[in-house]
Structure 1
Amino acid sequence: MSVALNEVLTISPAGRASREAYWLSLFAAFALMGASFVVFGFSPAAASFMGFEAAPVAEPVGIALSFLGGVLLLLSVALLATAVVRRLHDLATSGWAALFLLIPVVNVLVLIALGLVRGTSMNRFGPDPLTIPTLDREAYRKAKQIGERMREETVEASSSPESLEPSLQSSMGAETPAASVSPAERLYEIARVQCMDENTSIRLQVKVGTVEKLRKLLKKGRITEAEFRTWKLRIMSL
């Protein structure tokens, strides 16, 4: 499995991290940490604090090097900590367990163990990162945002029963011939079949795509506003 760069070089604790993304994040964090110590080595103030001599440099340069080393060190710590938190999320564990990193010796064992244990499937922190193709993760994030907005819209639509009545009557009535089935209902049935036995991320993408097709039907005048709201509500509830 390939891993996107934004899954490795991120200081966001949100979401989950696969084992591969976790190891790459750790490598990047320790590389930054090493770079910070190299920079500190050329800073008189930092070198003095660490107990060794640095090459003579002008005071402004020394201050700039100290600042740069500090920034690199903070970034490395943030990268390391958030990678551990996301990996804990992948194991369905609260990120607060990362406080084990403060315990000497234990922290090394925890870092190694986190990179060896297989993550869970869908949990409260999101879908299994292994089930989402790397190239589609940004699309998944955008689809999730669109889906959340659509759910808010459908909640508002459901608060006005008169707008739902026409379509609900046709959908709850007796079976109708294929010729009388509305295009919105056909889209709903296709989406329902596509969502069967699929994980949450795939279902979300199917529902968002179907609602976009439904919106095109509305723009072409093939369905009414009331039908659009009704079928959108049904599709998003699949």
Structure 2
Amino acid sequence: MMANLFSSFDPSTFSSTSMSLNWFSSMIMLLIIPPMFWLIPSRLNMLWTNLILTIHKEFKILIKNNQWKGSTLIFSSLFSIILINNFIGLFPYIFTSSSHMSFTLALSLPLWLSFMLFGWINNMMHMFAHLVPQGAPSALLPFLVIIETISNVIRPGTLAIRLTANMIAGHLLLTLLGNSGASLKFHLLSVLVIVQTLLLILESAVAMIQAYVFSILMTIYSSEVA
């Protein structure tokens, strides 16, 4: 039994042992994805292939440097990891790893740091030009440089917080409504089931949208250092 509403985000809440299950739910995908490449192509396999190809075309448009061949594979894999973790977290009694900063920040920070190191080492003048907007007044240049620097530094944090907050908000609402079901009458309980079903559909859409937004923004950040 949960002690409070936020206990649903504790990986040890539903565990019968004292072991932490933070990363166990993220490893479930390793049991799902490999058979898709070895078995006879199914409708699910064709759907997933078409989805990845569509995402690949979207990322290819955003990446300005055509010499970075294969870079869309990184962002397509990032999209797949976040999407699968978000969907797995919608099942009952499964820990949602994408609702924790330790997971989202581990995805955004290394990629952003690698882009920054690549940009400052190989295209230093281009990176300096990004700190000063074109046509800005000379008197405002020191303040604009500070603002652009701060906005650039907080990018991995904003990416991680955006994904975490969206996952937590929906799960909290589902948990809050689900806990109130025991005290409702039958006619109100039927309404609650319909509302919960609609919220679950909405959360499924949010899971896909947040994975897409996270990977798209990371792709845009990578194109700025070219």
Q: Same fold (TM over 0.5)?
A: no
TM-score (norm 1): 0.24
Decide which structure has the larger Cα Rg and report it.
1
Kindly indicate whether structure 1 or structure 2 has the higher relative contact order, using CA contacts under 8 Å at least 6 residues apart: 2
TM-score (norm 2): 0.25
